[in-house]
Amino acid sequence: MTSTILPRSKISNGLAGWRGGSGPKILLIHGVGLNADCWDTMLPRLAQHFTVTAIDLPGHGESSTLAGRGEVTLTDYSSKLANTLSASAGQTIIVGHSLGALIALELAIRHPKTVAAVLPLNAIFRRTAVASAAVKARAKELASLGIVDPTGTLERWFGQSPIGPFFDAHQNCERMLKSTQPEGYAAAYHVFANSDGPSDNELRSLEAPMLCITGSEEPNSTPAMSEALATLAQDGQGVIIEGARHMMPMTHADEVTGHILDFAKLKDLLDV
C-alpha cells in the first residue's frame, strides 16, 4: 500500500474533503487525528456505486477548526455535518470510523430525515471503568502537552511489530497523525474520551437501518460493543471481521467495502 494524499475540494462551512463517483450519497467520517486519506483504498470501489464524500473533520486535514467553541462536544461535530447534509436533497448513507462512528450515530439519532442508513465501524459503546480512565488520562495529557506524539496510538492500533498491510497502514497513519492540527487533534480526542455511545432509548428509537462492523482482534472497540449496539437498534446488524484490528478500513478495505455494498443492497439503498 502506497501513501496517497487525496485531492480535496471545499465542501461547505469550512469543511474540506474528497468527492467522487455517482449514485446514492454516502458520507465517510474518519477517526481522531486522521483525515479523508484513511479511506483511500476503499474509494475506487465505493465510487463505482455511490456519490462519495470523504470528509476531513474540523481541525483535521484541510478543514478549519471549530474556532470560538470553548469545550467542543460531539454535537458540535454532528451539527456541522448535518448542515452539510441538509444542503443537498435526499438522504445519505453515513459510515463512521471510531470517533466518526460516534458522530454517525449522533447524526442518525438527531437528524433522522437526512440519514438513509448508519454504519458504525470500530464503535465505542459502554467502556469499562478502567478503559474510560485510561482514555481520559490520554486526552488530558494531549491537551496539556499541545503536541502530537503518535507512538502510543500506533502501538495500540497495530501492535509493536506490524507486518504486511498492518505495516503499510501504520506508516500512513503515522503521517496523518503527525500532520493533524494540534488544536483539532486535542479537541477531537477530548470528545472521543468523554463519549460512550448513545443511550439505550436513543438506540431503540433509531429509525435508520444500522450495520455495526468491528475486528475480531480489536481490543478497544470490541466485538461485544458492536453486538450490543446492533441488538438495541430496531433494525441493527453486526459483523465481525476476522483478524482485523482498529484500522480495518485500511488493513481490510475489501472486506469492509464488501459489507457496506451488501448491506446497501439488502436495504434497497443501492441498485443491483
Identify the pLDDT of residue 90: 85
**The overall pTM is greater than 0.85:** yes
Q: What nine digits make up the cell of 271?
A: 441498485
Alpha helices, H only, 7-160? 43-46, 74-86, 99-110, 129-145, 151-158
Is residue 231 classed as helix, strand or coil in its secondary structure?
helix
Average pLDDT of the residues in 137-157 = 85
Structural domains in the chain plus CATH codes: 9-266 (3.40.50.1820)
Q: What is the mean pLDDT of the chain?
A: 92
Q: Where are the alpha helices (DSSP H) in the chain?
A: 43-46, 74-86, 99-110, 129-145, 151-158, 165-179, 182-193, 200-204, 223-232, 248-251, 253-266
In this predicted model, what pLDDT tens digit does every residue of 171-198 receive, in sequence order? 999 999 999 888 899 999 999 999 999 9
Tell which wins on pLDDT, 216 or 146. 216
Q: How confident is the model at residue 272 (pLDDT cuts 50, 70, 90)?
A: low
Q: What is the pLDDT of residues 220-256, one digit of tens each?
A: 999 999 999 999 999 999 999 999 999 999 999 999 9
pLDDT in tens, 71-128: 889 999 999 999 888 767 789 999 999 999 999 999 999 999 999 999 999 999 999 9
